[in-house]
Structure 1
């Protein structure tokens, strides 16, 4: 009996070593297929959102994708496994082409990375590519790859070229971000001073501003900037060539002269999984080549002479931003505190300058070569397009007249929007194309938002907003006449907590129709979704964060269980008591809860500001004050029934929600001015969707009389209460009191 791994004679038994190989083959096929599915998701996302430059949303260079790529190229780096058959040799080639497809597809994702991520991901990718190239060269020398040597040579060359393009294109990312950010700030000042058309309604004014902000945000998106660059166009062309090379090898080996290639008999240790790997990787290559090929063809098609435009004068000029980052690095001194010798420091500095000079020269060669590739592509493809154009024109498929693209469009509006397109040097010819492709984007998103309007909230506001009504409920929900429960101060109010407390009171009221209560709960749920978003944006200092958290905790219990902490509100409503008695019982419950929580958290309450008190204390204080306020007005109003008091509560809720919605312009303007350029486009898109959802609400709010409050006061509910306390009878016209034009937006943000 031999020891483990050896036979009875002590000889190493390696027959068992190859048994796991089919499992490894399945692993490789699955990893390749996952990459293909991610690329397909990006492709679908691009077509669905009409972004034919195909941003990398699902597949980009990161630690996860690099891990799958490393697994996917397992066969091309396998040095000693016998791969005799046709599918074995083809799977080695497909693994090599696979990495070319990955590089061509993920190039736009460089734009969203910071400098550290760029460096780490490109170093990791470089290690993978160099390892793959070296192993392929070894296999070509040893005979492990004995067919398709020409194809492997072409693909290896393309792989190295694409790696160089990827690395040197990454050096422009910090520069282009800085240039476009500076242009954004200048264009923003222009946008807020120059309205496209004078509109009377708040929604239309905001929509005009959004169209300008969208054009600025979209055209400065780092992924879009990288995708429309000349190096990305060249990378797409090389990616297409690598896919064609794989296709040529497969056609030649399966259909033309398969026997003449001299494939050997036998199976590899991977068994049948090499065929599975070939199918998965060929599918991934086919899917992953579509986006880079469309980027290349779009650039070529736009510059074809058939379009009536010629750009030969500056076609081969290398713009300054390509080498600006490298030039800046060259000017900066090295930090060589370790080297004490002056001569060593001089040699280090000279070496750095020489390396950067080589890099700058290489960058010039890469950009110049990319422009030559684009020019040759234009020259060749234009002949085909000219032939197709005249063939279609002769057959009458297309008209002989003017440009159909501009028919039905507004040239003056398009020209105005063109001033807000942010572009780099030598991209002037792309301005009109970017305007035509994106000028209606905000309209589409606003229309999508209109399909998701909060109907329950709209119904509540419609029913409780007579013409020329003000916002009296904001002043009346919490009276200054109510005595404070604490001697150390009174916590401030936020927009959400009074809504939740008033709804809790409504649930506890007796003799209320279940349908009315159900509608109110749905309306408040929709309102809180917007109110919480508004407060998160407007509360830049975080002062009301704990109050918002209190509102969320209380609402969770009210919405799901009809409970205010441990108090069953529905049980209260069924006690056959008058509304006044229910309110007094809630007052006593709130006082008890406040007292118990205060004693338990005395040191904390004395140490922190009232806004930072524990959740139960803030909730109890709100419940006590609002119930006491209602009781103060109970005798003077016709509130003897639960339904009557419910109507009063609904009116107060409507006033508070409407007052909060007066901040829509401020919220949207802030969302459009997110400092991170990587998320600015998404933020503006969200603002447009938000405007579509709240457009009807803005129309309802516009009917009200708004007090003369500055925008910085309007975002704080206590400022409204203070104003109404001083000027209880003052009510000015809404449209004249507060302007939501571009100038007001700028003042808000500043």
Structure 2
């Protein structure tokens, strides 16, 4: 309302009011007084309007974040729904009669997201003036009950310490929600208001206060179930572990009585462990076609030689994948080899290295071998993904060796180039690196040393005959050496499969046996081919190391 209106009223009426005398006409005095009182009311109305307008403006300013808070809550709720839906699909896909918690699990992150989605029940400062507000708050409580039910199976996949921390965290959140709901009920924020749910046949009257009590009871009931489960899970795991170990003993006894082939024995071994791991899951109560021939493991014998001078101050061990990567780098760098042939080799080595690295993780599991495995993975990524050997250069050889650098060169010249450049890199690292770093084996040193020894060994073994070997013949020779090394490595696959079946951690056992089953299925043809080969008479513990194979084969020849 305009303030000028009240000022105008006073300007006209005040002079009349001041000049009115007691002796004047009573009617005139009364009318002037009425006009004066009217002006006072106009002024009061103007002030009230100003206060109301100011309050409305302030309220609008403070309500602006509400929209973003709502979006924040909606995003958190959607994340929870997606995770629960993924678990549901995972259960159907794996034909589970229960829904394992693979994606929606109880941990610090999920508790944080759940707390955000429960902003409405937890917030005591928000007003609930109409039916929609109260219905939204009741819907959040129903959503919380649903999430708690879906989180139950994930309790069994935790160790005892993690289980205690996560259950306590969720219990604090649930108790906070329950206390807040009781406060809102006692202060009549959640009142006896009711709303109708009408259908074609029924007309249902829902009372918000009664509904809130029902949800509170459900939350407390689910919380008690969760706490009770958390208390009994450790002892249940011990019972399952005892039964599992007893079943393993029976399986091993039956295994000894089998007279079938190694592949059939392994099939039965995996099948029985899979059944035991599946039924004993805590959440329930979880290269062949590309290798065509082998030469009796000559590649393992001839990939390295004691006649090659050591150029490192610390002796570096070999892993299965290291000489494979080194030999592959030389093979794909040879001139006059078709791109299709190189692509086939790269594809086959890529598939084979997946099994090779798995063998190394299980059998060569010390820190020293882990450093080598990481180095070969990094170098192979450069070779395969970046294609730097084929298109331009390879990182560890700086800008010297590219495929174009070997055009017109003979096989012996290619090998000499690799050997010399690798030797330069090793010597350079020796000069600039202390012994502690040498022991940790930087990746450039690891591959350069392997490349140097592989190239020098081939040159030494073939002597002057190397001059007569063409690029294609050298490619075949290198490919044969790679196949021999891979086959020797794959003799450890049964041990890897059995180790995966005997996973000691009960939380990881089901998934570990599943990996073993898949690995057996993919390598079954390789294992069949290995059965017809005559393996060296080595101690089983030594067969996991390529250096032990190399030493044994050298001594056998001598």
**What TM-score, normalized by structure 1, do the two folds share?**
0.60
Aligned to 1:352: none
Asked if 2 retains the 8 angstrom alpha-carbon contact of 1:79 and 1:144, the reply is no
By how many angstroms is 1:663 displaced?
0.2
d(CA) in 1 for partners of 2:298, 2:55: 95
Q: How do 1:119-130 and structure 2 match up within 5 A? A: 119-130=164-175
Counterpart pick for 1:493 among 318, 335, 338:
318
d(CA) in 2 for partners of 1:219, 1:717: 38
d(CA) in 2 for partners of 1:616, 1:95: 57
Asked if 2 retains the 8 angstrom alpha-carbon contact of 1:42 and 1:57, the reply is yes
Asked if 1 retains the 8 angstrom alpha-carbon contact of 2:333 and 2:403, the reply is yes
User: Deviations along 1:513-555, whole A, 9 cap, x unmatched?
Assistant: 3322222122222222221221121113233223323423433
d(CA) in 1 for partners of 2:213, 2:375: 66
Aligned to 2:179: 134
d(CA) in 2 for partners of 1:482, 1:692: 41
SS in 1 for 2:100: coil
Aligned to 1:700: 529
d(CA) in 1 for partners of 2:76, 2:445: 54
d(CA) in 2 for partners of 1:66, 1:517: 51
d(CA) in 2 for partners of 1:213, 1:86: 57
d(CA) in 2 for partners of 1:630, 1:196: 44
Counterpart pick for 1:150 among 191, 210, 220:
210
1:188 and 2:222 equivalent?
Answer: no
Higher helix residue share: 2
User: Deviations along 1:402-425, whole A, 9 cap, x unmatched?
Assistant: xxxxxxxxxxxxxxxxxxxxxxxx
d(CA) in 2 for partners of 1:21, 1:580: 76
d(CA) in 1 for partners of 2:253, 2:95: 31
By how many angstroms is 1:720 displaced?
1.1
Asked if 2 retains the 8 angstrom alpha-carbon contact of 1:471 and 1:706, the reply is no
d(CA) in 2 for partners of 1:219, 1:515: 48
Asked if 2 retains the 8 angstrom alpha-carbon contact of 1:471 and 1:655, the reply is yes
Does the C-alpha gap of structure 1 residues 61 and 586 become closer, same or farther in structure 2, counting only changes over 3 Å?
closer
d(CA) in 1 for partners of 2:71, 2:449: 63
Does the C-alpha gap of structure 1 residues 161 and 712 become closer, same or farther in structure 2, counting only changes over 3 Å?
same
Does the C-alpha gap of structure 1 residues 10 and 711 become closer, same or farther in structure 2, counting only changes over 3 Å?
same
Aligned to 1:168: 228
By how many angstroms is 1:185 displaced?
2.5
By how many angstroms is 1:173 displaced?
1.6
Does the C-alpha gap of structure 1 residues 78 and 652 become closer, same or farther in structure 2, counting only changes over 3 Å?
closer
By how many angstroms is 1:697 displaced?
2.0
1:728 and 2:553 equivalent?
Answer: no
d(CA) in 1 for partners of 2:74, 2:368: 53
Counterpart pick for 1:650 among 465, 479, 488:
479
Q: How do 1:96-115 and structure 2 match up within 5 A? A: 96-115=141-160
d(CA) in 2 for partners of 1:131, 1:548: 49
Aligned to 2:132: 87
Q: How do 1:484-633 and structure 2 match up within 5 A? A: 484-486=310-312, 488=313, 490-559=315-384, 560-562=387-389, 563=394, 565-566=397-398, 567-574=400-407, 576-601=408-433, 603-604=434-435, 612-633=440-461
List alignment gaps of at least 5 residues for structure 1: 1-5, 226-437, 439-453, 730-750
Asked if 1 retains the 8 angstrom alpha-carbon contact of 2:241 and 2:506, the reply is yes
Aligned to 2:289: 458
Asked if 1 retains the 8 angstrom alpha-carbon contact of 2:296 and 2:533, the reply is yes
d(CA) in 1 for partners of 2:382, 2:163: 46
SS in 2 for 1:172: helix
Aligned to 2:17: none
d(CA) in 1 for partners of 2:261, 2:297: 20
1:718 and 2:547 equivalent?
Answer: yes
Does the C-alpha gap of structure 1 residues 182 and 599 become closer, same or farther in structure 2, counting only changes over 3 Å?
same
What is the RMSD of the two structures over their aligned residues, measured on CA atoms?
A: 2.9
By how many angstroms is 1:78 displaced?
4.6
d(CA) in 2 for partners of 1:81, 1:619: 64
Asked if 2 retains the 8 angstrom alpha-carbon contact of 1:504 and 1:569, the reply is no
The number of aligned residues is 484
d(CA) in 1 for partners of 2:219, 2:360: 51
Counterpart pick for 2:281 among 217, 221, 232:
221
d(CA) in 2 for partners of 1:192, 1:716: 26
By how many angstroms is 1:194 displaced?
1.3
SS in 1 for 2:255: coil
Counterpart pick for 2:69 among 17, 24, 30:
24
Does the C-alpha gap of structure 1 residues 97 and 641 become closer, same or farther in structure 2, counting only changes over 3 Å?
same
Q: How do 1:651-666 and structure 2 match up within 5 A? A: 651-666=480-495
By how many angstroms is 1:698 displaced?
2.0
d(CA) in 2 for partners of 1:545, 1:554: 14
SS in 1 for 2:319: coil
Counterpart pick for 2:59 among 9, 15, 23:
15
Asked if 2 retains the 8 angstrom alpha-carbon contact of 1:196 and 1:208, the reply is no
Asked if 1 retains the 8 angstrom alpha-carbon contact of 2:411 and 2:467, the reply is no
Does the C-alpha gap of structure 1 residues 512 and 97 become closer, same or farther in structure 2, counting only changes over 3 Å?
closer
By how many angstroms is 1:51 displaced?
1.6
Does the C-alpha gap of structure 1 residues 646 and 213 become closer, same or farther in structure 2, counting only changes over 3 Å?
same
Asked if 1 retains the 8 angstrom alpha-carbon contact of 2:459 and 2:466, the reply is no
Does the C-alpha gap of structure 1 residues 192 and 64 become closer, same or farther in structure 2, counting only changes over 3 Å?
same
d(CA) in 2 for partners of 1:196, 1:92: 64
Asked if 1 retains the 8 angstrom alpha-carbon contact of 2:74 and 2:117, the reply is yes
User: Deviations along 1:237-279, whole A, 9 cap, x unmatched?
Assistant: xxxxxxxxxxxxxxxxxxxxxxxxxxxxxxxxxxxxxxxxxxx
d(CA) in 2 for partners of 1:71, 1:484: 62
Does the C-alpha gap of structure 1 residues 191 and 673 become closer, same or farther in structure 2, counting only changes over 3 Å?
same
d(CA) in 2 for partners of 1:80, 1:112: 38
Farther off after superposition, 75-84 or 54-63: 75-84
Does the C-alpha gap of structure 1 residues 158 and 723 become closer, same or farther in structure 2, counting only changes over 3 Å?
same
**What TM-score, normalized by structure 2, do the two folds share?**
0.79
